[in-house]
Structure 1
Amino acid sequence: MARKFLDKSIDFGIGLFNNSKEKIEKFVSEMVDKGELASGDAKKVIDELVNQVEKEKDGFKNFVKENIKESIDMSEYVKKDEIKNIIKDELKNMFPDK
C-alpha cells in the first residue's frame, strides 16, 4: 500500500513537471506573438527552460525518495532483510548442528 502511494505521488509530481513543458511552450509562444522574444530564439529559450524543469524533476524525485526512506527507517516496520535474518537466526538456534 505504501509503495502504491509512493508511485502515485511520484507520478503526480512528474505529471506536474510534464504539464510545465506545455505551459513553457505556450508562454514562449505568447512572448513571440507579443514581440517580446524573437522567433529564432524561441526554441533555445524553450530548451533551456525545459532543461531546468528536468533538473527540478530529478531533484523532486530524489527528495521524495530520500524522505520516504527516512520515514521508513524511523518507523517500526520490519524490513524484508531483517525478517530473513531473524528467521535464519531462529533456524540456527533450533538446529545448531546444521
Structure 2
Amino acid sequence: MRSLLEKGLALGIGLAVKSKEQIETFVDELVTKGEIKKEESNELVNELIQKGQQAQSQLDEMIRERMKIILNEVNLATKAEVEQLEKRIRDLEQKQE
C-alpha cells in the first residue's frame, strides 16, 4: 500500500489540490484494477486527502512568504501604513476646520 501511496503522491501537487470526489475516483480505479483491496480504499482516500491538505497548506504558506518578499521589494505601503496615513489626513482636516 505504501508504494501505491507514493505513486499517488508522485502525480504531483495537482493531486494534492484535487477534490475528494476526484481522489475517490482515483482510488476506486485502483480497487478495480486490483492494485489495492476494497478494505484499504477508505484508508487510502483519507490519507491522500490529508496529504493533499498538508501540501495545500505548505503551498499557501510558500505563496504568502513569496508575496511578502515581492511586496517588500517593490516597496508598497502596507495596509497598516495606509490606515495610519488616512488617520493623519483626517486629523489634519479636523485641525484645519
CA distance in 2, matches of 1:37, 1:18: 20
- Equivalent residue letter for 1:29: D
CA distance in 1, matches of 2:65, 2:54: 16
CA distance in 2, matches of 1:80, 1:42: 47
The answer to whether residue 31 in structure 2 is matched with residue 32 in structure 1 is yes
* 1:54 aligned partner: 53
Q: Could you tell me how far 1:63 is from its partner in structure 2? A: 0.7
Distance 1:63 1:33, change over 3 A: same
Q: What SS does structure 2 have at the residue aligned with 1:52?
A: helix
* 1:70 aligned partner: 69
RMSD value over aligned CA atoms?
A: 2.8
**What's the TM-score, normalizing by structure 1?**
0.61
Q: Could you tell me how far 1:45 is from its partner in structure 2? A: 0.7
Q: Could you tell me how far 1:71 is from its partner in structure 2? A: 0.8
Corresponding pairs, count: 76
Q: Could you tell me how far 1:80 is from its partner in structure 2? A: 4.1
CA distance in 1, matches of 2:22, 2:39: 19
- Equivalent residue letter for 2:47: E
Distance 1:81 1:30, change over 3 A: closer
CA distance in 2, matches of 1:27, 1:38: 14
CA distance in 1, matches of 2:70, 2:55: 22
Q: Structure 2: 5+ residue runs without aligned partners?
A: 1-12, 92-97
